[in-house]
Amino acid sequence: MVLKKLQRLLSGDPAEAADKSSKRAHRKALERQRECAELADEIESLRSYEDLVDEMGPDCPIITKRGEEVFMICNGAMLTETRRGAKTNYGGRSHGLSVRVAKGVYYRPSVHRGRVEQAPEETSVIDGKDGEGVFVVTNQRGVYRGNLHTREFRWDKLVSVSPEQIGKSYVLMMPVENRQRVSGIFVGTSSMADLVMRRIMFGIALQQERGDEFIERLEAELADLQDDRPDVPELLPPTLPPPPSAPPPPPA
């Protein structure tokens, strides 16, 4: 018995290896099916984005402008901002010769060179740690509303949108024209960051009157996923241990 266990550990059990391979293929196929279903639901939602949120209802956290349509409300979001550290160092040196002009009196014409060394910029959360922050995406702008700060990200003034990973979480950094500090939205997981990012890009496309083109790109992405989607394999039945051998007959 011990010899057989050692042989399985050294050479591997073919039945066990086949079972692990089958489970991996099963999980991969299910994951691809889930991605296709989520993307298909997202496309249907964006096609009817005007009906996703009632702007006049109590659930809308902002006052919308004329022609503005809300199609995402992200509760629990946090506001981040890049700020330079408070510590500032000054470094430099001076050099020159000392000349004696009288007893105990010296004159030293010297040159001093130095520079101010500022602390690097850091991204930190400035609002929303209490869980009360909310980020709203519309066809004209993005708005963060918290208990301490409010930020508006107009799509026609937005410079870029870039995800930044902090630990295991993600922040969508959104620099805006004529704004010195860069603000961002802390959204958490990578899947949530993908969803918020897609809604932001859709809002930008709508502002540029390219919403139909954006949806067509999503449809092409969905078609590629479906073409590359593997069939869900059936899991192998569990390998049962052999039945115990019959006990030897009693001696006559």
Burial of 231 (0-12, 13-18, 19+ CB in 10 A): exposed
pLDDT given for residue 123 in this prediction: 86
Nearest to 74 by CA among 189, 165, 176, 161: 189
| 14 contact partners, CB below 8 Å, separation of at least 6 | none
Q: Where are the domains of the chain?
A: 14-86+120-227, 88-118
Q: Tell me the CATH number of domain 14-86+120-227, given options 3.40.50.280, 3.40.50.620, 2.30.29.30, 2.30.42.10.
A: 2.30.29.30
pLDDT given for residue 11 in this prediction: 57
Nearest to 140 by CA among 164, 165, 158: 158
**243: phi then psi, degrees, rounded to nearest 5:** -65, 150
Type of residue at 10: L
In which residue are the tokens 């290896």 written? 17
> What is the residue-level pLDDT of the chain in tens, covering all 252 positions?
555 555 555 555 666 666 676 677 778 888 888 999 999 999 999 999 999 999 999 989 999 999 999 999 999 999 999 976 665 555 556 555 565 556 556 556 655 565 656 656 788 999 999 999 999 999 999 999 999 999 999 999 999 999 999 888 999 999 999 998 999 999 989 999 999 999 999 999 999 999 999 999 999 999 998 887 666 556 556 555 666 666 666 665
d(CA 171, CA 188): 7
pLDDT given for residue 38 in this prediction: 93
pLDDT given for residue 226 in this prediction: 87
Total number of residues shown for the chain: 252
* pTM summary value: 0.72
CA 23, chain centre distance (Å): 28
Nearest to 113 by CA among 89, 94, 88, 90: 94
Nearest to 70 by CA among 202, 167, 217: 202
pLDDT given for residue 110 in this prediction: 58
**H/E element holding 213?**
helix 211-227
Collapsing DSSP to helix, strand or coil, 108 comes out as coil
- Provide the strand spans (E) within the chain: 70-75, 78-84, 88-96, 99-102, 105-107, 110-118, 121-127, 134-138, 141-145, 150-154, 162-166, 169-174, 183-188
Collapsing DSSP to helix, strand or coil, 209 comes out as coil
Q: Between helices 14-47 and 211-227, what is the axis angle to 10°?
A: 160
pLDDT given for residue 93 in this prediction: 62
